[in-house]
Structure 1
């Protein structure tokens, strides 16, 4: 075998080895996995968040909105159901990343958490039994038995009523059930939730009376230290309002477009 032939063989082996190293030495980069946004919610507050009886999935305006926000951020949502009064403590403990649960933005809560830009405007109203004509507004609640959900602005307002007997429940449906059973005279709760209850369940047994006591804004809450997530949520919310997705979700659950 000539020296020239040997040189060619050595060169060929070198080139082949180099080619294999370039092709098989490194694995192709895998696509980045979507981050998971752990979201806490009181999932018994229709039409904002509640469990579908058939699929057992959590559905509602808030659920659709947070999924759309997460998608805009390149994330997926993992919902953790918990009582309303446990949401802020769970945020502070780092057990969840955010809460969306028809939570009114208040100065007291804002001392503990960061709130997103408002995403829904609400207010408190009264629900009474359909045959009750004595209670027509908040001034008629003095000395009455009032059911509320613990930790809510409805609970705070009820406690301001003179001589009222305020009973706090873990969920809004429990408060409505107590009204239906005659254990209380009225329920103070958020107007859209009262509207939904009257429409879907309590139309024959209950009615809404009086004008809204308050005007409230709902916000998505994040931990005080997680300002980056709050900024991302605000940016995603702005984009959803610009591209029309927010309006679609709103109309799906409330039958009308949001007020401009």
Structure 2
């Protein structure tokens, strides 16, 4: 009888342990946003050097914040996803998406024809212009003024391509220098190694506020506006889902509220 009772007790305990293990695995499972438990996680890639889209206020915390982060988390919440943000150099974002390191990219990224070859994009959620940033006494205001100058751009950015077009298509003979992060461009200008940099106007304004010796001039012609969209893996079902929620936010004013919060003018450009 004792052996029978011990055998029954062991069986009950074994079933309980297996059930507990199964529950733990189920609740903790994630990957490509397709967790089997209640908690679904999406990994978002961004280059956190692009205020107010994404940045880190190092004096306060290591948390990545900004317009793109708020937008991703707002849509993620509506769809039942937790958004985990990873800081990656801008030129590494598309490769990170392609190899599955992240599920989506929000980083003020423009959906160019070249990028569309390897990743899918949502509808555009914000549009800005390009700006030439230079020292106030440089007398550089237009692309033509960049002839013979050393001009900085962020590697793999839309401004990188724009500067190349100025050289090849418009025959503006200038030296293009590329850096991974926007602050590096500003540092190079402050050190006198760059004559100018081409940066998105919304982002440039923040650096101009902090660097009173610099001036900015919007490029009015010869360049398409820089539209920002969310990037996904080719064929991802997330593209359609995020587009649907993005459209709702545009219609009900939620997107406008985020614009006001981070850009302050209450108008998308």
Fold-level match, TM-score > 0.5?
yes
Q: Which residue of 1 aligns with 2:131?
A: 125
Retained in 2: the 8 A contact 1:138–1:210?
no
Q: Which residue of 1 aligns with 2:189?
A: 179
Structure 1 residue 222 and structure 2 residue 232: aligned? yes
Structure 1 residue 208 and structure 2 residue 216: aligned? yes
How much has 1:183 moved relative to structure 2?
0.4
Change (3 A) 1:59 1:110: same
Please identify the structure whose Cα radius of gyration is greater: 1
Identify unmatched segments of 5+ residues in structure 2: 1-18, 21-26, 28-35
Q: Quote the RMSD (CA, aligned, Å).
A: 2.2
The within-5 A match list for 1:60-209 is 60-133=66-139, 135-159=140-164, 160-161=166-167, 162-199=172-209, 201-202=210-211, 204-209=212-217
Q: Which residue of 2 aligns with 1:248?
A: 257
How much has 1:95 moved relative to structure 2?
1.0
Q: What is the CA–CA distance in structure 1 between the aligned matches of 2:111 and 2:95, rounded to whole Å?
A: 16
Q: What is the CA–CA distance in structure 2 between the aligned matches of 1:132 and 1:88, rounded to whole Å?
A: 35
Identify unmatched segments of 5+ residues in structure 1: 1-25
Change (3 A) 1:242 1:62: same
**Which moved further from structure 2: 31-40 or 232-241?**
31-40
**After TM superposition, where is structure 1 displaced by more than 6 Å over at least 4 residues in a row?**
none
How much has 1:75 moved relative to structure 2?
0.7
Retained in 1: the 8 A contact 2:149–2:174?
yes
Q: Does the residue aligned with 2:91 lie in a helix, a strand or coil?
A: helix
Question: What TM-score, normalized by structure 2, do the two folds share?
Answer: 0.81
How much has 1:211 moved relative to structure 2?
3.2
Q: What is the CA–CA distance in structure 2 between the aligned matches of 1:258 and 1:210, rounded to whole Å?
A: 17
**Number of residue pairs matched by the alignment:** 231
Q: Does the residue aligned with 2:138 lie in a helix, a strand or coil?
A: coil
Retained in 1: the 8 A contact 2:129–2:219?
no
**Which moved further from structure 2: 61-70 or 209-218?**
209-218
Q: Which residue of 2 aligns with 1:35?
A: 40
Retained in 1: the 8 A contact 2:201–2:218?
no
Q: Which residue of 1 aligns with 2:266?
A: 257
